[in-house]
Amino acid sequence: MTGNGVVLIPCDTILNREHAEFIERHHIPLDLLELEKLPHHTTNESLISKATEEIKEIFHYMRRKGTVPLEEVQRSIIPTIHQAAEYPTLYSVLSGLQAKDDYTYRHNIGVGVISTMIGKWLKLSEADLGLLTIAATLHDVGKIRIDDHILNKPGKYTNEEYAIMKQHTVFGYEIICNTPGIDRQVALAALQHHEREDGKGYPEGIQGSDISYFGKIVAVADVFHAMTSKRVYKDASPFYQVMQQMISDSFGKLNPVICSVFVQRMMEMSVGSEVTLTDGRIGRILMVHPGDPVNPSVLVGDEYIDLRKNHHLHIDRLNQ
C-alpha cells in the first residue's frame, strides 16, 4: 500500500516477475515489502495434476462401491487442494486449473481449489473450510452415474439429455448420503450447486435462503470454472468477460455477497497484469477499486486511465 492508502498489490500476494517489474517501474521502496523465495507457477500446476489423478482413483472406487472413501479423500486430496489454494496466482487459477484432459476430474479439483480460496476470503473457520473443500471436490460426483455418451457429448443437449444430465445433482446427494459419518453440508452442496437465487435453477428450483451456504459458494466457483474452461464444443471465455458476466449474475442468479468478494479478489490478483483495451491500446492494471472491481485504473504508457470515468473504454482482454 502507498503512503496515501492505495492498494498496489493485495496483501498475501506471492510476488512474481511481473510484480517485481511493476515495483521497479514505479519506484516502490523494496524495504517496505517482505520478499519470499517464489514458488514457480508449475508448483501449483503439478499439485492440480496430482489431485486430478487422486480424484480419478476415488471416483473409480465410488463407481464400484457407491459410497465415498472419506478417509482416503481426507488423507490424499484435501491437503493437496489446500496447498494449491495457499498462494494462488491469477496465472495458476486460469491455466493450472484448465481442462487439458479428463474434464470431469479436473473440474472437480478446480472447483475444490476455487471454493477453498473463496472460503478463506470469507474467513470461514478451519473446520468449515475443511468441509467446504470436501463438498466442492465432490460436487459433481453424481456424474459417475451419467452415461459417458451424454457426459462427453460435444454439442448441445436435447431436452431429454439435459433432463438426464440434471440428475447428477440428485445422484451425488444419494452417493454422499450413503457414506457413514459424512457431514450433511457436503451432500447439500452436491444437490444444490445448480440452484439459483431466483429459483430458476435445478433440481428443485429452491430460492435464496433455502439454498445452503456451501451450495452457494460452490455455485460461484462452478460457474467461474465452467466459463473459463475450454471444451470440445466451446472456447474458454476471456477472463475479463467472465468477471463482467459474474457481476451481472450476482443480480438474481448467484449470491451477491459471495460473488462480489470473488470478483473483487480475482481482479485484485490481476493488478500488474498486461491488458488490451477496447481501443486496442495496451496497458497494465494499476489499481482495483472496491465497489467497481471490473473497471480498474490502468496505466497506458505514461497515461493513467480510470476506467470508471471512461464509459466507452473497457478492458478487452487480459494478455497472458
Q: Which is nearer to Fe ion, 225 or 284 (CB)?
A: 225
Measured from the CB atom, is 140 or 249 closer to Fe ion?
A: 140
Nearer to Fe ion, 149 or 312 (CB): 149
- Taking the complex as a whole, the smallest distance from the CB of residue 112 to Fe ion amounts, in Å, to 13
Distance CA(65)–CA(59), nearest Å, equals 10
DSSP per position, 200-260:
-SSSS---GGGS-HHHHHHHHHHHHHHHTS-BTTBPPPPHHHHHHHHHHHTTTTS-HHHHH
Minimum CB separation from Fe ion for residue 247, in Å?
22
Nearer to Fe ion, 39 or 199 (CB): 199
153 DSSP 8-state letter: -
Q: Is the dihedral of CA 156, 160, 161, 165 positive or negative?
A: positive
Using CB under 5 A as the criterion, which residues of the chain lie in contact with Fe ion when the complex forms? 140
- Other beta carbons less than 10 A from residue 291's beta carbon: 8
Of 75 and 230, the one with the shorter C-beta distance to Fe ion is 230
CA 119, 82, 7, 314 torsion-angle sign: negative
Q: Are 81 and 49 in contact (CB under 8 A)?
A: no
Cβ proximity to Fe ion, 140 vs 268, nearer residue: 140
Least separation in angstroms between CB 29 and Fe ion? 48
CB of 315 to Fe ion, least distance (A): 29
User: Left if phi > 0, otherwise alpha if psi is -120 to 50, otherwise beta: which for 37?
Assistant: beta
Is 61 exposed, middle or buried, given 0-12, 13-18 or 19+ CB atoms closer than 10 A? middle
Q: How far is the CB of 136 from Fe ion (least distance, A)?
A: 11
The residue number with the shortest CB distance to Fe ion is: 140
Query: Min. distance of Cβ 182 from Fe ion in angstroms?
Result: 18
